[in-house]
Copies of this chain bind each other. A is one copy, B any other.
Amino acid sequence: MQMTHTEKQRYQLRKQPKQARARATVQAVLDAAAQILVTRSYSDASTNVIAERAGVSIGSLYEYFPGKEAIFAELRRREGIKHYRSITREPRPSNPRDMLRHLVTQHVQFVSSNLALYVALETEVPRFAIAEQEMAVLADYVPQSNAFLQTHREQLRPHNNIAFITELLMRVVTATVNDYALRAPEYLRSEELTESLIDLLSRYLLNEAA
């Protein structure tokens, strides 16, 4: 584990697969990694074992991935994209209250429908290169939501920093749902949790009338 001169590409694909069979190879590796992560553990997921489970040779694996870390970085990247898509998918809400409801329900929905993998990624895989894709879910969503709330300011209680509040609320939702996923998954899908969270956020964000 020598780090000669901090290579950025340590967590990226060595090269893009061009042919279809190559894309299939990459996908097989990622699927195998996910499966081993969920059924065994991160430390059991050696490159040799992953390659074997994927049905590709260890040599092929290293054609595309510079190492074990890159495999899981890519896996997380792709899950992050799915997560983002899940949250931003239709229908677009037409008012702040619907926005909060949509945010909470979609978030719970995504996490609980991928619970095993989500939890394993969160609890077992080290967060290399945290800055890069870690924010994928929030990076685009926050400014977008902020703009939305700005245009519906009249429905909100007076806040002197809407941008900050927007980010805070996003983080409260993601972090709290994450916490339930890891530590109390039996409540994750409960009406009670979803409704309480929405109520908590609404009461803070919105004025009485809304």
**A residues at B contact (CB < 8 Å):** 1, 41-44, 123-124, 126-127, 130, 134-135, 161, 164-165, 167-168, 171-172, 174-176, 178-180, 182-184, 192-193, 196-197, 199-201, 203-204
Residue pair A164, B127 in contact (C-beta under 8 Å): no
Please measure, in the bound complex, the distance between the C-alpha atom of A95 and the C-alpha atom of B196, giving whole angstroms: 22
Residue pair A1, B179 in contact (C-beta under 8 Å): no
Known: A123-B126, A168-B200. 15 other contacts (CB 8 A): A1-B43, A43-B126, A130-B183, A164-B196, A167-B184, A171-B176, A171-B183, A172-B175, A172-B176, A172-B200, A176-B176, A178-B179, A200-B201, A203-B204, A204-B204
Q: How many copies does the complex hold?
A: 2
Q: Which residue of B lies closest to A126 (CB)?
A: B124
- Smallest beta-carbon distance A149→chain B, Å: 15
Residue pair A171, B180 in contact (C-beta under 8 Å): yes
- Smallest beta-carbon distance A70→chain B, Å: 14
Residue pair B174, A179 in contact (C-beta under 8 Å): yes
